[in-house]
Amino acid sequence: MPEYKQFPLSDTAEGLTEADILAWRVKPGDTVTVNQIVVEVETAKAAVELPIPWAGVVTELHVEPGQTVEVGTPILTMDVDPDGKAAPAAAAPAAAESAAAAPAEEEMKPLVGYGSKAAGTTRRARKHPNVALGASDATNATLGASHAPNATLGQPPAQAEPAAPRGGYVPLAKPPVRKLAKDLGVDLHSLTGSADGGVITREDVHRAANGSAAPAVSTVESGYDPATRERRVPIKGVRKATAAAMVQSAYTAPHVTEFLTIDVTPMMELREKLKKSREFSGVKLTPLAFAAKAVCLAAKRTPDVNAVWDEAAQEIVYKDYVHLGIAAATPRGLVVPKIRDADSLSLKELAVALTELTDVAREGKTTPAAMLGGTFTITNVGVFGVDTGTPIINPGESAILAVGAIRDTPWVVDGEIKVRKVMQLSLSFDHRVVDGQQGSEFLADVGALLADPAVAITY
């Protein structure tokens, strides 16, 4: 007989509590293999593709694209024994007992690279949508954020609202609301949600069931209201996480920003020379690579900028490594992936790492793990033609450098005015950790290295 299992939304990075469903890669009736990608979700850190740990046939999708789902919530049901080759029903109790005794990690073991870190981390109990199960099996289904093994279900779950869109329109509603609509015989496709983003609520379903007209709402599914000519977009995913981080930093760390204008003509000349060399053949050597190298060298002379304030322990933590964050603009918002141990890399290695990092970020494929644990950040506002700015420090760090556009500018050289390649730098730092002297020395060192790369041999 069929054996049904439910696939819960896993914790793709330690500490995440929810994710938005972006797109399903499967539909009911599809046959899937172990570790096949079945869904793409967007967490507070990145877009992530999730593989399924079993082979079988998809029987039901519990959530629609656009919905926000808590970690541990079942999002898919599948038949892992569609050919009926499983053990007889009489053996089911023993199998269930054995499954209950197995560690939860064994059930999700094939999900290599996903899930929270080792056990010992406890989470608060979560409320989960009511997934309709066969009456005799409702008490046997094990759900929860701990990803406990799923009990074998004796019959398939009751089918909820079809996941396939009708005419391209997918109604947005949480699983409990979908179940309510099914129980009351209400077609969700005929409703306009009253919640933000056009999400259908329980009240919308009850009004439809009672024959009442839904109240006028200022936002339709697209979020645009022709009457006011305004568009509302729900705050979630990367944008929500970025906003929270920036507010936390701005109102926690006392920011100081300093500015420096430098002549980088020697750096640009060296760049052109290196681009023609055999060693840098095929390497995209940008001014940002020189800035990254300068930051790593200067941080060794002023370790304060690579330290962090630990409020809980009342300590300043100095780090003997540089995990360099590079702010990257993506269609989903700002992300800051890291170059690990950037201080140990050569200029060429940094250039290669920067190219790979930014390409992955712009494709929206940066993993959550790649954005954790930074010690210093560079934001390159120059690519937008901007001269400078007052960047906000990333939480968990103490400084951030903004690199401006390089422009042909009149500059005094040996008493004469000449046209030179000039750029501006701005450094924001946490004044609890970095004093004005240290911040100024660091910025001056970075500027000196960019103005004359030969200075690097003295470090």
Per-residue pLDDT tens over the stretch 395-445:
999 999 999 999 999 999 999 999 999 999 999 999 999 999 999 999 999
Per-residue CA distances from 261 to 399, 402, 450 (Å): 18, 12, 11
Strand, helix or coil for residue 51: strand
Compute the chain's Rg from CA coordinates.
27
Burial environment of residue 236 by CB neighbours within 10 A (0 to 12, 13 to 18, 19 or more): middle
Tokens 């869904």 locate to 39
- Give 93's DSSP letter: H
Burial string for 246-264 (b: 16+ CB within 10 Å, else e) reads eeebeeebebbbbebebbb
* Per-residue confidence (pLDDT) for residue 46, from 0 to 100: 73
Which has the closest alpha carbon to 404: 378, 429, 366, 369? 378
Q: Are 86 and 141 in contact (CB under 8 A)?
A: no
Q: Are 71 and 168 in contact (CB under 8 A)?
A: no
Which has the closest alpha carbon to 366: 241, 232, 233? 241
pTM above 0.75, yes or no: no
Segments of the chain scoring below 70 in pLDDT: 12-16, 44-45, 85-171, 175, 196-198, 211-222
* Per-residue confidence (pLDDT) for residue 166, from 0 to 100: 43
Strand, helix or coil for residue 286: coil
Active site residues: 431
* Per-residue confidence (pLDDT) for residue 311, from 0 to 100: 92
Separation between Cα atoms, residue 178 and residue 162, nearest integer Å: 10
In Å, how far from its chain's centre is CA 458?
40
Q: Are strands 4-8 and 399-403 parallel, antiparallel or unpaired?
A: unpaired
Burial environment of residue 117 by CB neighbours within 10 A (0 to 12, 13 to 18, 19 or more): exposed
Q: Are 74 and 7 in contact (CB under 8 A)?
A: yes
